[in-house]
Amino acid sequence: MSQDQQQLPRYSGIATFMRCAYEESLEGIDIGLIGVPFDGGVTNRTGTRHGPRDIRVQSTLMRSVNQSTGIAPFELCKVADVGDALPESPFELERSHKSIQSFFEKVVEAGVLPISAGGDHSISLPILRALAKDEPVALVHFDAHCDTGGDYLGSKFHHGSPFRVAVEEGLIDPKKTIQIGIRGSLNHKEMWKFSHDSGMRVIYMDEFYDLGVDGIIKEIHKIVGETPTYITFDVDGLDPAFAVGTGTPEVGGFTTFEAIEMIRGLTGLHIVGGDVVEVSPPFDPSGSTALVGATMMFELLCIAAESLVARKDSLAC
């Protein structure tokens, strides 16, 4: 990112993620910021297809340096907005997932680490299919819901099931998966049985407040260890006071500050990608939920850049 571009008025220019250059070529890029404007997997309120565009607009408020951690991601890595993984057949869910997977396969083949903005949470599945072809990855999952449900209205592919399917397809290691922020009412008592039976570490909100942020961070590092890790952040993990613009809000969630602290606590992990999902701008005309999405995306970018540089330094030794 050029200093001149960073100094332009926030309301000027073409909106890209973090005001990065838009690049069609993946050559020479370390981290690609990607939009996935798809919400064909929602079970409640639609609108997350508009998430990437609004997150791009709000991300013009992100600056060059993380004031708290000192990380300057654009100095550490070449970061670019590489466009949208736009489904060719947006009215057909499984074909849409194949289109998204194909886009991310090119990203992975180019050696680019993807940080994405959705889109509904079903988009994590095709991304993981591209990232975890050779071996399963660990998963750090911030959400109000486990998203390990079964068939719903005749389909197992929806935003409430991606991580069940990901386990079944060998994309994530359930014993190296941690789900944080789970809460809300249920249709039946064993709605998240798959998470528990498969060995996932599920942290409900009651335990969240018993452990505190520092305890959560320690638990994440204990579960994940040095395994290559994907991070997925659903904004409905936040209390709706902080993220009203989402499809399935649940009261009683964590705060934006707690979320930021948890993401910053992931420093030292072997990060291979991440996403921020379920920002639904039509339900928040103020743009504040999109700003939350942009901020979480920036925090993910910072720890991903640090992780990438640490691996390169390790290989150089």
Cα gap 76→271, rounded to integer Å: 15
Per-residue tokens: 262: 């948890």
How far is 295 from 316, CA to CA, in rounded Å? 32
In this structure, are residues 143 and 239 in contact, taking their beta carbons and an 8 Å threshold? no
Taking alpha carbons only, the member of 61, 191, 38, 187 closest to residue 117 is: 38
Distance CA 223, CA 141 (A): 12
Q: Which residues are annotated as a binding site?
A: 121, 143, 145, 147, 234, 236
Binding site listing for Mn(2+): 121, 143, 145, 147, 234, 236
From 188, 232, 307, select the one nearest 36 (Cα to Cα): 232
CB atoms within 10 A of CB 106: 13
223 and 138 Cβ atoms separated by less than 8 Å:
yes
Residue 312's contacts (CB-CB under 8 Å, 6 or more residues apart) are none
